[in-house]
Amino acid sequence: MNFERELLMIPGPTMVSPRVLRVLSKPILSHGSKEFVEGFAEALELQKRIFMTEGIPFMLAGSGTLSMEATVANLVEKGDKVLCVENGFFGERWADIVHAHGGFADRLNFGWGRAIDLEILKEKLEDGDYKAMTVEHVDTSTGVANPIDKIGEILKNTSTLYVVDSVCGIGGMPLKMDEWNIDVCITGSQKALGAPPGITMLCVNELAWRIIENRTSIVSDYYADLKKWRAVMDDPKRYFATPATGLVLGILEAFRIVEEEGLEARWRRHRLFSDAFKAGLSAINLQTFPSKGFEAHTLSVPIMPNAVKDSDLRSMMQSKYGVIIASGIGETAGKVVRIGHMGSVTVNDLIATLSSLEMALMCLGFEIDPGKGVGAAEKILSKG
Ligand SMILES: Cc1ncc(COP(=O)(O)O)c(C=O)c1O
């Protein structure tokens, strides 16, 4: 069937609220207009509140990878050592970027979806002379969530800068940049913040900024040179390169929605949805991929039963029920599907997704008691 209204339940980009869509449909503004400049300034203020930091906010046109690259290009000079803590596809991306900018990446890989062993990490940090350490808040390839607060405690007494990728976390799971000793934190617009793709954000604390200011070599990326952007972020009337005016106002509206809901209430909603969805999966005998106790609240990653091909499941859910879910990537390709439940997702979306998952699995010959997954989810949702 050809649906005009589908449910986009992949782990980003996610569906956005009609309020955000209305803002995006407005006429294009000049980047020098009062309306845009004031909106940009408000968005940067809200960005700091959402990251829970007094650090410097940067908002750039581009996807999450641009913020990863900007972080490395600005912090790392030739020969600098960076510890890249990895447990999935996106964690592994950091090492490639570090090498591309002339640094040396020491990779500490715990295996895809597996929990980080904090003792091993501690020893590694004591042994090496690292300028920075990178880690994922949530690795979207596996649905694993890392203990960013506990890692921050370990890094507190070292001279290593703490870099966190929260592209799939901020807005959906607790992230307290300053309290957790994070020096640079990045995210994207298209996931738990509930805005379209195209804007990436990072916040840099005073310590990391001093290191950027005092570097001796030039930054190896002209567009991502944060010193060039700083003037714009301090005074959004200034020009360095044309901001994505419509998208900035789109994320501003999404930020206002986050503020109205309240960060803590939003984290609780994501937790509730995640618990309900995962209970539904378990009730229909689907195991999830990440280590127990380390599951993200922003997505679920069920392992495919042997008898079912993930591509058949995805295409049936889309063609018959209008629900779009994602495949695995890298090591998880063909083994799992990835289902996002973050940002502006509602209880209705969640139940419809679980129900269509059950029906599609039944069509594909997997035995299920119809409604068992939905029933398990309802039990949790009705208490929330
Ligand atoms: C955790 C994480 N980090 C980084 C990225 C890269 O972001 P982008 O695809 O927006 O460049 C993604 C994308 O899904 C992600 O999930």
pLDDT tens by residue, the chain, 384 residues: 777 889 999 999 999 999 999 999 999 999 999 999 999 999 999 999 999 999 999 999 999 999 999 999 999 999 999 999 999 999 999 999 999 999 999 999 999 999 999 999 999 999 889 999 999 999 999 999 999 999 999 999 899 999 999 999 999 999 999 999 999 999 999 999 999 999 999 999 999 999 999 999 999 999 999 999 999 999 999 999 999 999 999 999 999 999 999 999 999 999 999 999 999 999 999 999 999 999 999 999 999 999 899 999 999 999 999 999 999 999 999 999 999 999 999 999 999 999 999 999 999 999 999 999 999 999 999 998
Confirm or reject: Cβ of 90 under 6 Å from ligand 1: yes
Cα 362 to averaged position of ligand 1 atoms, centre (Å) = 33
- Residue 68 DSSP class: H
Confirm or reject: Cβ of 169 under 6 Å from ligand 1: no
Of 144, 148, 168, best ligand 1 pocket probe by most atoms within 8 Å of the beta carbon: 168
Confirm or reject: Cβ of 143 under 6 Å from ligand 1: no
Query: What are the start and end residues of each CATH 3.90.1150.10 domain in the chain?
Result: 7-13+262-381
**What does DSSP say about strands 326-327 and 323-324: parallel, antiparallel, or unpaired?**
unpaired
Cα 376 to averaged position of ligand 1 atoms, centre (Å) = 31
Cα 167 to averaged position of ligand 1 atoms, centre (Å) = 6
Residue nearest to atom 2 of ligand 1 (CA): 167
Contact 320, 1 (CB under 8 A): yes
CATH number for the segment(s) 7-13+262-381 = 3.90.1150.10
Query: What are the start and end residues of each CATH 3.40.640.10 domain in the chain?
Result: 18-260
Q: Measuring CA to CA, how many Å separate 19 from each of 150, 173, 246?
A: 37, 23, 14
Cα 199 to averaged position of ligand 1 atoms, centre (Å) = 12
Residue nearest to atom 5 of ligand 1 (CA): 64
Q: How is the beta sheet containing 132-136 ordered, strand by strand?
A: 56-61, 199-204, 184-188, 161-165, 132-136, 81-86, 104-109
If DSSP codes are grouped into helix, strand and coil, which group holds residue 40?
helix
Report the top-level CATH class of 18-260: alpha beta
